[in-house]
Amino acid sequence: MKLKKLLGLGLATVILVSSVGCSSSKGEKDAVDAADSSENKKIVVGASAIPHAEILEEIKPLVEAKGYELEVKVFDDYVLPNTGLEEGALDANYFQHVPYLEETVSQKGYKLTYTAKVHLEPMGIYSEKIKKLDELANGAKIAIPNDPTNGSRAIQLLANNGLLKVENKDLLTVKDITENPKNIELLEIEAPQLPSVLVDVDAAVINTNYALSANLNPTKDAISIESIDSPYSNILACREDNKDSKKIKVLTEALTSNEAKAFIEEKYQGSIIPSF
């Protein structure tokens, strides 16, 4: 009898401990699930102010209708949005084109990709001193972006306008210029600073987002502009490990919706063109 009582007590103790352990584990799991659920309902996106942040603000109701909160963090450079995305501070970013992303991934080894091409910002040539490119004097100074992909893009635009001849390459540098009949001096400057140096140079090749920020309208103020078949559509970038997540799918759908397309076409009047 004593042995049976001891065994019974031991079994009861085991069952009690086991039950407490299960209850504790279940509570911890519920807490984790709740935290995950809360976190997954917020989408943090890094973006340039114009037009990216403006477009994101416009599609917020579409995201909210799917049960998510969209937080837009504005950046004024081309480096930090990819760093923040790689490190997990951002869920996605929307500021760059495919060649720039590919160059960043190649140089830094980031595990980044993209889900959709959203819009094209035709790069333009601007000047406060001339009205036509054939007015450029010998030895004229032209400012271009100093990052590899946008610098290449600017050189190609100048070549397309007959100011230079270049090698047949995807990524151009000043070393790839084979003919420079007007002895043009190219000044490589950080992209956000290009509008501010217009007064000091004969012309500048400026990305549309920075042109718009400086109240320059590409369709009205640019001497020359990229054609609409340019490969430099701006994209929604994300990490490889969250590309198939629900939040990224929701954001992608909103950015490529009919509402987003109508907003881009109406607000920017051809200076920015939908890519979907």
Interatomic CA distance for residues 250 and 69, integer angstroms: 11
Q: Residue 58 carries which side chain, given as an amino acid letter? A: E
Decide: 274 and 119 in contact? Cβ < 8 Å. yes
> Residue 37: what pLDDT?
52
Name the nearest CA neighbour of 174 among 276, 267, 196, 184: 184
Domains of the chain: 40-121+232-274 (3.40.190.10), 124-225 (3.40.190.10)
**Distance set, CA 97 to CA 48, 123, 185 (Å):** 12, 12, 26
Neighbouring CB atoms inside 10 A of 265's CB total 14
Interatomic CA distance for residues 199 and 62, integer angstroms: 42
> Residue 270: what pLDDT?
86
Tokens 């049960």 locate to 67
Interatomic CA distance for residues 126 and 219, integer angstroms: 11
> Residue 21: what pLDDT?
40
Tokens 């890519």 locate to 275
Mean pLDDT, contiguous 10-residue spans, the chain (276 residues): 40 34 42 48 96 98 98 96 98 96 96 97 95 97 95 97 96 97 98 96 95 91 89 95 98 98 94 92
pTM of the model: 0.72
Residues forming beta bridges with residue 94, ordered by sequence position: 47
> Residue 230: what pLDDT?
84
Interatomic CA distance for residues 214 and 219, integer angstroms: 14
> Residue 39: what pLDDT?
55
Interatomic CA distance for residues 85 and 246, integer angstroms: 17
> Residue 192: what pLDDT?
94
Decide: 273 and 120 in contact? Cβ < 8 Å. yes
